């Protein structure tokens, strides 16, 4: 909607190829993955998707509380299902989704052929496991990859793929001083987002994605922090910054 304009390019990215989404906690990363999974599942016949979380319980919870709940919100619950299991779903048009985990190794995905790979909380998956996972797309004409998570350390898999990306940042131009702002702690006031240069209010709808890395990189990279989410409570953010690391928020 109009309050989440920063998501439009992520959903509409032409070609739908490789995307890496970096964000703080609770910025709707999993909801975005569920929505993209559902769109492909409902609209593309014979299209196979693979969803991976670090642990089995995370994959199961996503299948039931994210994907299933979102699907039930569709008119008549969406297209009919031929198979409806927690770890595997197949629709009447032949589209499929596998729900798997790959914390210590990628054995659970061996033998699966997929057109799109979606990895959630990728920072908790060993970087060495990703080449095995990506081989699931070997025979596909699509070979779509969507990776998301919250940065923990410079060595984690998420940072590895972020460095291979366009590094798009949501940059907001201040209407008062015309300076560009990439949202951080200097943009927080108790009542509104402010320009880090002149202190005047700035507004999310004035922002746009700008590549700060190689525009021709292998992945389209997007960084979303909690300050961008419409439901943000700026006073709460100020309090959380006393206890949490910047990466969990910004």
- What would the two tokens of residue 171 be? 């940059």
- What pLDDT, on the 0 to 100 scale, is given for residue 64? 95
- What is the pTM for the complete model shown? 0.89
- What pLDDT, on the 0 to 100 scale, is given for residue 239? 76
- What pLDDT, on the 0 to 100 scale, is given for residue 250? 59
- What pLDDT, on the 0 to 100 scale, is given for residue 220? 94
Which residue shows structure tokens 């240069």? 197
CB contact burial 70-100 (16+ within 10 A = b; e otherwise): ebeeeeeebeeeeeeeeeebbbeeebbbbbb
Q: Are 196 and 187 in contact (CB under 8 A)?
A: yes
Give the contacts of 53 (CB within 8 A, at least 6 positions apart).
59, 62, 100, 101, 119, 120, 121
pLDDT digits (tens, 9 = 90+) for 157-209: 999 999 999 999 999 999 999 999 999 889 998 888 999 999 999 998 899 99
Residue 58, φ and ψ in degrees, nearest 5: -65, -40
Q: Coil, strand or helix: which one is 118?
A: strand
Residue ranges, the chain, pLDDT below 50? none
């Amino acid at each position: 909607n109009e309050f989440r304009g920063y998501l439009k390019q992520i959903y509409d990215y032409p070609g739908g190829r490789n995307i890496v989404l970096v964000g703080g906690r609770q910025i709707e990363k999993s909801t975005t993955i569920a929505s993209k999974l559902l769109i492909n599942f409902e609209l593309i016949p014979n299209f196979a998707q693979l969803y991976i979380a670090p642990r089995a319980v995370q994959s199961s919870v996503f299948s039931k509380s994210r994907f299933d709940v979102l699907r039930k919100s569709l008119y008549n619950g969406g297209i009919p299902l031929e198979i409806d299991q927690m770890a595997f779903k197949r629709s009447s048009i032949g589209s499929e989704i596998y729900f798997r985990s790959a914390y210590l190794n990628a054995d659970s995905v061996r033998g699966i052929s997929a057109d799109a790979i979606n990895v959630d909380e990728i920072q908790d998956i060993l970087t060495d496991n990703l080449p095995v996972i990506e081989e699931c797309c070997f025979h596909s004409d699509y070979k779509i990859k969507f990776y998301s998570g919250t940065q923990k350390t410079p060595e984690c898999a998420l940072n590895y793929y972020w460095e291979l990306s366009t590094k798009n940042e949501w940059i907001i131009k201040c209407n008062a001083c015309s300076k560009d702002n990439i949202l951080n702690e200097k943009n927080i006031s108790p009542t509104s987002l402010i320009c880090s240069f002149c202190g005047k209010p700035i507004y999310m709808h004035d922002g746009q994605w700008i590549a700060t890395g190689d525009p021709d990189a292998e992945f389209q990279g997007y960084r979303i922090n909690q300050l961008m989410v419409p439901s943000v409570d700026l006073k709460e953010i100020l309090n959380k910054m006393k206890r949490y690391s910047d990466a969990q928020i910004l």
